[in-house]
Amino acid sequence: MRHTGGVETATERAGPGAEAQILHFQMLARYSSIANQRLYEVCARLSDEEYRKQRSGSHRSIHRTLNHILLGDRIWMDRFGSAGITATPALDTELYSAFGGLRSAREAEDARIEAFMGGLNGAFLACEIRYTNNAGRACADPASLLIAHLFNHQTHHRAQVHVMLSDAGLQPPSLDMHRAIRP
């Protein structure tokens, strides 16, 4: 273990691999912003009827699924910035009724996530986040696991929107990570 002036650094306290994990989370934040931009560009071509049409998927429409992804991101980002225990709102909460407002909020949240990941450090990765889940159960999980969940949750639901776009007759965007990061 390296020490700086006899004092253990926050990254060292987080354990081996913390620096690589931080870089990985920063890459995932960048990728998520690009993937969301691509997805919203295609969604913007839908009629309002197609955008809100009931379809197969966890949240039954493109509109509801995009709202859910944003809600999930806000829940986790608020938890990452809170010292106290946070509760979970209803997971089907509609944050924005209009596509334009939702798209603007998505862009702002992506910028927030990228900025947060840009300042990530080993001390944060080593901490535990306490929260109350949507079933009302008190939970405590490692921050590194919850950050990974944030990105996994986005990817899961973006894939559902991807399928719904095909169902709506549009060509879904390419969301391949390696081509998003290295076009």
- Domain contains 107: yes
| φ/ψ (deg, to 5) at 142 | -65, 140
* Average pLDDT of every residue of the chain: 90
pLDDT over threshold 50, residue 1: no
- How many alpha carbons fall within 13 Å on the CB side of residue 18? 19
Q: Over the stretch 113-167, which tens digit does the pLDDT of each residue have?
A: 999 999 999 999 999 999 999 899 999 999 999 999 999 999 999 999 999 999 9
Helix (H) / strand (E) containing 128:
strand 128-132
pLDDT over threshold 60, residue 7: no
- Domain contains 99: yes
Query: How far apart are alpha carbons 68 and 52 in whole angstroms?
Result: 14
Q: What is the CATH number of the domain that holds 177?
A: 1.20.120.450
Structure pTM?
0.89
- Domain contains 5: no
Specify the pLDDT at position 182.
93
Query: How far apart are alpha carbons 47 and 70 in whole angstroms?
Result: 21
Specify the pLDDT at position 6.
43
Count up the domains in the chain and report the number: 1
| Parent domain of 41 | 17-181
- Domain contains 58: yes
- Domain contains 4: no
- Domain contains 7: no
- Domain contains 9: no
- Domain contains 124: yes
Q: Which residues pair with 142 in a beta bridge?
A: 128
Q: What percent of the chain has pLDDT over 90?
A: 80
